[in-house]
Amino acid sequence: MKLPRALLLGLVASAFAALASGQVKITVTHDLDAARPAETITVPWAGLAQAMPGVQLQHIAVKDAAGRVLPYQVTNIAPEAKDPKNLGVAYGDLIFQHDFAAGEKSATFTVEKIEAVAPVFPSKVFARYIPERLDDFAWENDKVAHRTYGPALAAPDLPKRGKEVLVTSGLDVWCKRVDYLVVDRWYNKGHDHYHHDEGEGMDMYGVGTTCGCGGTGIWDGGKLYTGRNYATWKVIANGPIRAIFELTYDTWVTGTGIVSETKRFTVDAGHNLDQIESTFTAFTGPKNITVAIGVNKDSGDKGQDSKATLTQNEAGWLSQWEVQKTNGSLGEAVIVPADFAGFAEDEHNQLVLAHAVSGQPLRYYVGAGWSKVGEFTTRQAWDDYVAAFARRLQSPLKITLTP
């Protein structure tokens, strides 16, 4: 899980004086007794660059306590920056993952300089703009895929040529049977094909004008006001472990004023839920906003006679288990780890409410899991996963660096 950047930089700074120049030991601890699979560990690259002068991102090895080399990623936060002395000014975080077993509350790793060029690790995450399908934006990891809709889909069919038109800020779900990346493959197959399971999974989720699985809006106490399709996109990082991208939404009118939104998605390998940080800007009306994160009440495929069961938990999460006739069952979830403000619903959406302030990011988590993958074959299994994920968010990792 992502730690506050200020905390990580502080931990790194406290260890600078004692760090060796060729190797750094990283100790990661936490307080939970439960297992934490695919835990994402982030260390500011600036700290490593100061601890190991001249370190280069393609000439390091990250190893666990048994000496196994781990896949890693270095995010690039300022690609335009000049860095002739390898001070790391263009980079953000060193990222790698570890599976904490139940009862394993501490793990150690080393980062060391190497002469050889580090391998290119296979990517488990992916995000891109899809101009060939009416400005879709799609993303995925090894568990599940998603997409949302852009301006070309919202544009009217003026020449009356039969172009699809859909105005929605909702988020779609693509169910995967496989752990490799499928977004490019499915789009290349054509629109009709990915609505049928041909061995890799399928799009069995209906969004329409609803929130889909995790879309947002402004709640005025009785009505949901949502925006239109995203307006612009920006990819910030793209694997192999983490993808980061932003979508912006043009202003829309709510019950209390005019707002706009920027969503920053953080998609990590090994997780069914993605982190989203939404920053709403209130151009008119109050600066304190009640945000609603929604799940479509009836997202089942046509003819599937879907039946949904809802779970709401005062720890700030909502899950829905939707059974379809032949497609299997789909679990959907929203978690608001802080600023939780209760639950609501409208005609089409189950909603988790959150307090937000204009100009400040609101963090939440959304995602889905498919029964035909085999990990979540019952509603209880899905609820257990969501509850465990929420507990992990309340028990962040602690990271220390030593020689």
Lowest mean pLDDT among 53-57, 102-106, 249-253, 330-334: 53-57
Domains of the chain, residue spans: 5-120, 126-393
pLDDT digits (tens, 9 = 90+) for 257-313: 999 999 999 999 999 999 999 999 999 999 999 999 999 999 998 889 999 999 999
Confidence of residue 20 (pLDDT cuts 50, 70, 90): very low
The rounded Cα 293 to chain-centroid distance in angstroms is 14
pLDDT confidence of residue 17:
40
What gap in Å lies between CA 111 and CA 50, rounded to an integer?
13
Q: In what order do the strands lie in the sheet with 91-100?
A: 36-44, 91-100, 73-76
Helices (H), 58-158: 151-154
pLDDT at 9: 47
352 vs 216: CA distance, rounded Å: 10
Assigned token pair, 101: 């077993």
User: Which residues pair with residue 333 across a beta bridge?
Assistant: 319, 367
H or E stretch including 156?
Answer: none
Query: Which of 321, 327, 325 has the alpha carbon at shortest distance from 379?
Result: 321
Tell me: pLDDT of 13 over 80: no
Residue 49's pLDDT band, with cuts at 50, 70 and 90, is: confident
Contact 295, 214 (CB under 8 A): yes
Quickly state the pLDDT bin for 191 (edges 50, 70, 90): low
* Pairwise CA distance, residues 288 & 55, whole Å: 45
Mean pLDDT of the chain: 92
Domain 126-393 in the same topology as domain 5-120:
no
Residues 44 and 8: their CA atoms lie apart, in Å, by 7
Please say whether the beta carbons of 7 and 399 come within 8 A: no
Do residues 173 and 144 lie in contact, with contact meaning Cβ atoms separated by under 8 Å?
yes
Which helix (H) or strand (E) segment holds residue 352: the answer is: strand 349-357
Q: What is the pLDDT of residue 190?
A: 65
Candidate CATH numbers 1.20.272, 2.70.98, 2.60.40, 3.30.300; the one for domain 126-393? 2.70.98
Write b or e for each residue in 104-121: b if 16 or more Cβ atoms lie within 10 A of its Cβ, otherwise e. eeebebebbbeeeebeee
Please give the CATH architecture assigned to the domain spanning 5-120.
Sandwich (2.60)
Cβ(216)–Cβ(294) below 8 Å: yes
* 131: CB partners within 8 A, 6+ apart: 152
Which residue's structure tokens are 């789909």? Answer: 330
Q: How confident is the model at residue 135 (pLDDT cuts 50, 70, 90)?
A: very high
Q: 22: burial class by Cβ within 10 Å (0-12, 13-18, 19+)? A: middle
CA distances (Å), 158 to each of 133, 150, 162, in order? 18, 17, 9
Q: How far apart are CA 286 and CA 64, in angstroms?
A: 50
* C-alpha of 243 from chain center: 8
